[in-house]
Amino acid sequence: MPLKMPHNPLLIGVYPGTFDPVTFGHMDIISRALPLLDKLVIGVAENAGKGPLFSLEERIEILKTEIKSLPNPEEKEISILGFNNLLVQFAETQKARVLVRGLRPVSDFEYEFQMAGTNRKLAPHIETLFLMASEPYQLIASRFVKDVARLGGELSSFVSPEVGIRVREKYN
């Protein structure tokens, strides 16, 4: 018996993350997800337990600035919102039918596979769409960007100049 899917005229996707800080890898996934969806909601997880470098408000502000660097951002329907509940609950409030997840080589697969299965149990009407990180961005992780910055290393291969400045300010 097929599942009865809720009718939704637009294909809305949620790309969740902590984005602490937003990297070229995040922006790669965002730019590649946009043509597949009618609307993309970037869900910035509060994640206080991770001890983020930037506040939720700062991460949203930085993402709003970074989105402007995409080609023709005004032609895309993009929202950037914070959330602090279950991802599928947040997705349902946004009327999303797709969760967009970026995958780096093997390191992400097991965790993402388990999360997708859990989300599927909680909300069977929401699909998970995995996008492999483009080759130049496969090894970028926000936690490494913070370590490099904290130890005085060069950030230009990982984040935009504006994000690099913001990260360095936090460590100075």
Express as a percent the part of the chain with pLDDT over 90.
73
Are the C-beta atoms of residues 43 and 16 closer than 8 Å to each other?
yes
Q: Is residue 155 part of a domain?
A: yes
- How high is the pLDDT of residue 35? 94
Domain count, the chain: 1
- 4 catalytic residue (yes or no): no
- 104 catalytic residue (yes or no): yes
Could you list the residue range(s) of the whole structural domain that residue 90 is in?
Answer: 12-171
| CATH number of the domain to which 141 belongs | 3.40.50.620
CA distance 57 to 51: 14
Q: At what angle do helices 161-171 and 56-67 cross, to 10 degrees?
A: 160
Query: Would you list which residues are annotated within the binding site for ATP?
Result: 18-19, 26, 102-104, 112, 137-143
Instruction: Please check the confidence at residue 3 and state whether its pLDDT lies above 80.
Output: no
- 68 catalytic residue (yes or no): no
CA distance 55 to 48: 9
Instruction: Catalytic residue, from 32, 95, 104, 125: name it.
Output: 104
- How high is the pLDDT of residue 63? 97
Q: Is residue 88 part of a domain?
A: yes
Q: Is residue 61 part of a domain?
A: yes
CA distance 130 to 31: 14
Q: Is residue 134 part of a domain?
A: yes
- How high is the pLDDT of residue 4? 61
Q: Is residue 76 part of a domain?
A: yes
Instruction: Please check the confidence at residue 75 and state whether its pLDDT lies above 80.
Output: no
Are the C-beta atoms of residues 78 and 38 closer than 8 Å to each other?
no
Q: Is residue 7 part of a domain?
A: no
Does residue 144 or residue 7 have the better pLDDT?
144
Query: Would you list which residues are annotated within the binding site?
Result: 18-19, 26, 50, 87, 101-104, 112, 137-143
Question: Would you place residue 6 in the very low, low, confident or very high pLDDT band (cuts 50, 70, 90)?
Answer: low
What ranges make up the beta strands (E) of 28-155?
Answer: 39-45, 78-83, 98-103, 127-132
The model's pLDDT over 100-139, given as tens digits with 9 standing for 90+, comes to 999 987 677 888 889 999 999 999 999 999 999 898 888 8
- How high is the pLDDT of residue 172? 84
Q: Is residue 165 part of a domain?
A: yes
CA distance 118 to 110: 12
Q: Is residue 6 part of a domain?
A: no
